[in-house]
Amino acid sequence: DVQIDIRNVGKVYGSKTEEPVVALDGVTLRIRRGEFISLLGPSGCGKSTLLGIIAGFQSATSGQLLQDGRPITRPGPSRTVVFQDYALFGWMTVQQNVEFGLKAKGMGRAERAEIARALIAMVRLNGFEDKFPHQMSGGMKQRAAIARALAPDPDILLMDEPFGALDAQTRVLLQEEIARISSEAGKTVIFVTHGIDEAVFLADRVVVMSPRPGRVREEVLVPLPRP
């Protein structure tokens, strides 16, 4: 059951003053529904570019990208992104940040509040609903960002080095959490990282990318069941 079908996708960053940069060169990848994929490769190999194209934030220069048989042309609530720097709204509480993801759906106030509370509990931030981002640790901010990304009930959760800014201990905690959450919530996850341990620990399949120009070099099935 192919959910995302990436066919021969290329991306060239053009510039008037410098040489164009070939960030992706013929990437072909099929992702099944419910799969947890780690996209692994050294810095600069095009991981963020590929994630941005899947999200719909950027367009490919060549090739085709389909979700459930339809071309991906713009960002949408069926694909949400968690970034390394959390990207929470600093002027909103945790509750408001999470509810923000629900507003687009035209949901009533009470229903929004209830769903947000359930998501906040899922990421184990109960009791911190009324805190602002600056009042929380990095780990807690990333938990809030994960809850916000899950709010629109996306089919696909895209994560771009989500734990890269956290200390080692917090990172391990959140790795365990995202493994639990993704299987509980039944989401397809594409997890970008340059950490081999993290990639292998989390994924059903590790997709290894070559340095520039970015290509899929290898796909490795991870044989051990996840915790």
Which of residues 47 and 79 has its CB atom nearest to ligand ADP in the complex?
Answer: 47
Q: Calculate the dihedral angle through the C-alpha atoms of 44, 48, 53, 55, rounding to the nearest 10 degrees.
A: 180
Q: Which residues make beta-bridge pairs with 21?
A: 13
Q: Alpha-carbon distance 47 to 24, whole Å?
A: 9
Q: Which of 43, 73, 74, 223 binds ligand ADP (CB under 6 A)?
A: 43
Closest CA to 50 of 28, 21, 78: 28
- Angle at which helices 109-122 and 94-103 cross, to 10°: 120
Q: Which of 6, 23, 119, 145 binds ligand ADP (CB under 6 A)?
A: 23
Considering the rule CB under 6 A, would residue 133 count as an interface residue with ligand ADP? no
Q: Tell me the number of residues near ligand ADP by CB under 6 A.
A: 21
Q: Which of 118, 137, 180, 218 binds ligand ADP (CB under 6 A)?
A: 137
Q: Which long-range contacts (CB under 8 A, 24 or more apart) does 177-181 make?
A: 177/123, 177/124, 177/143, 177/146, 178/146, 178/202, 179/36, 179/226, 179/227, 180/227, 181/122, 181/123, 181/146, 181/150
Least distance from ligand ADP to the Cβ atom of residue 137, Å: 3
Positions 166 through 225 that interact with ligand ADP (CB under 6 A) = 170, 173-174, 212
Q: Which of 140, 151, 156, 203 binds ligand ADP (CB under 6 A)?
A: 140
221 CB neighbour count, 10 Å cutoff? 8
Considering the rule CB under 6 A, would residue 21 count as an interface residue with ligand ADP? yes
Window of 40-48, 73-81, 150-158, 199-207 that interacts with ligand ADP by CB under 6 A: 40-48
Window of 114-122, 131-139, 198-206, 216-224 that interacts with ligand ADP by CB under 6 A: 131-139
Q: Which of 5, 8, 12, 13 binds ligand ADP (CB under 6 A)?
A: 13
Both tokens assigned to 44:
């600069």
Closest CA to 123 of 99, 98, 100: 98
List interacting residues with ligand ADP (CB under 6 A). 13, 21, 23, 41, 43-49, 135-140, 170, 173-174, 212
